[in-house]
């Protein structure tokens, strides 16, 4: 099987388009849980930070792979913030500037996913 | 001769599926693992010719997976290509030091992706088959 064959190339692109749509649908479905985790982290539950990091990393890589640039950029910023916050005692960050930025970045990511879904 | 088999290690099912489709259309067989620990078992069971691995993996992370794969007698010789969204400037050197052959940052251009795979497979081929390839090339010249 080779991508040099135009029919194969077309089939490959069709399959990739379906997988791209599946990715977007899935992260849209996961948004309510993401918002809950973000709210719990803000309320002081430090265990949520690692859950958030896992989700955000998957979105960062997947959105880059499937060419959702805004979603990938938003996820990257959030992932960087989470790397800073994980390992820091939550009591010291709960009301901090970093936590405020985390919540804002999380909201921006949710908006970017929503916008990508509307465009798709 | 059968197709080369590639183990895809990524925790995102759509990324695994996307890579599988691209590789299948380029003539490769694939198998899968979705975290660092299961990548060790999958490599031992499937004996792939090459491993494509994300860094942000559950159950230990990608660096641990590379180190364990390189320390394991059945997988130490298998080339590993890291494909990650993580910043290449901050992570490439560490990945190569741990034993990876190459580091590609997502999103990866398909032509570059396939060229790096071909290069890694060529370099890891047994010396005999490299010599044969050289002889064939000479005959054609």
- pLDDT at position B137 is 37
Locate tokens 């948004």: which residue?
Answer: A31
Residue A119 has pLDDT above 90, yes or no: no
Contact B71, B43 (CB under 8 A): no
Locate tokens 């809950």: which residue?
Answer: A36
- For A18-63, the pLDDT digits (tens) are 999 999 999 999 999 999 999 988 887 778 888 898 899 999 999 9
CA distance A73 to chain B (A): 10
> What does pTM read for this prediction?
0.85
- pLDDT at position A16 is 95
Interface confidence, given as ipTM, is: 0.83
- For A71-117, the pLDDT digits (tens) are 999 999 999 889 888 877 766 666 678 888 888 999 999 999 999 98
Q: Which of A58, A72, A76 is the closest to B12 by Cβ?
A: A58
Distance, in Å, from the CA atom of B48 to the CA atom of B45, rounded to the nearest integer, reads: 9
Find, in chain B, the residue whose alpha carbon is nearest to that of A24.
B14
Domains annotated on chain A, with CATH: 6-119 (1.20.120)
CA distance A68 to chain B (A): 10
Q: Does B54 touch chain A (CB under 8 A)?
A: yes
Q: Which of A19, A61, A67 is the closest to B21 by Cβ?
A: A19
Residue A3 has pLDDT above 90, yes or no: no
CA distance B113 to chain A (A): 12
pLDDT < 50 regions, chain B? 131-141
| Nearest in space to B9 (alpha carbons), one of B29, B47, B38, B46 | B38
Q: Does B14 touch chain A (CB under 8 A)?
A: yes
Locate tokens 């088959």: which residue?
Answer: B129
Percent of chain A with pLDDT over 70: 92
Domains annotated on chain B, with CATH: 5-140 (3.40.50.2300)
Q: Does B18 touch chain A (CB under 8 A)?
A: yes
């Amino acid at each position: 099987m080779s991508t040099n064959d135009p029919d194969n190339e077309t089939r490959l692109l069709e399959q990739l388009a379906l997988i791209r749509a599946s990715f977007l649908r899935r992260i849209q479905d996961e948004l309510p849980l993401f918002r809950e985790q973000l709210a719990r982290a803000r309320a002081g539950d430090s265990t949520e930070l690692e859950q958030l990091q896992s989700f955000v990393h998957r979105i960062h890589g997947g959105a880059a792979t499937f060419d959702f640039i805004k979603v990938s950029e938003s996820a990257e910023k959030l992932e960087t913030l989470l790397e800073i916050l994980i390992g820091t005692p939550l009591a010291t960050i709960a009301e901090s500037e970093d936590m405020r930025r985390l919540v804002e970045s999380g909201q921006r990511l949710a908006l970017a996913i929503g916008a990508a879904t509307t465009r798709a | 001769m059968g197709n080369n088999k590639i183990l895809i290690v990524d925790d995102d099912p759509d990324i695994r599926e996307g890579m599988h489709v691209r590789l299948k259309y380029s003539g490769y067989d694939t198998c899968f693992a979705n975290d660092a620990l299961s990548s060790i078992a999958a490599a031992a069971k499937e004996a792939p010719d090459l491993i494509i691995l994300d860094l942000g993996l559950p159950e230990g992370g990608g660096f641990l997976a590379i180190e364990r794969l390189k320390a394991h007698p059945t997988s130490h010789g298998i080339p590993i290509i890291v494909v990650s969204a993580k910043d290449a400037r901050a992570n490439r050197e560490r990945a190569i030091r741990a034993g990876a052959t190459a580091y590609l940052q997502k999103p990866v251009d398909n032509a570059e992706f396939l060229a790096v795979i071909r290069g890694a497979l060529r370099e890891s081929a047994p010396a005999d088959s490299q010599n044969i390839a050289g002889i064939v090339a000479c005959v054609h010249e």
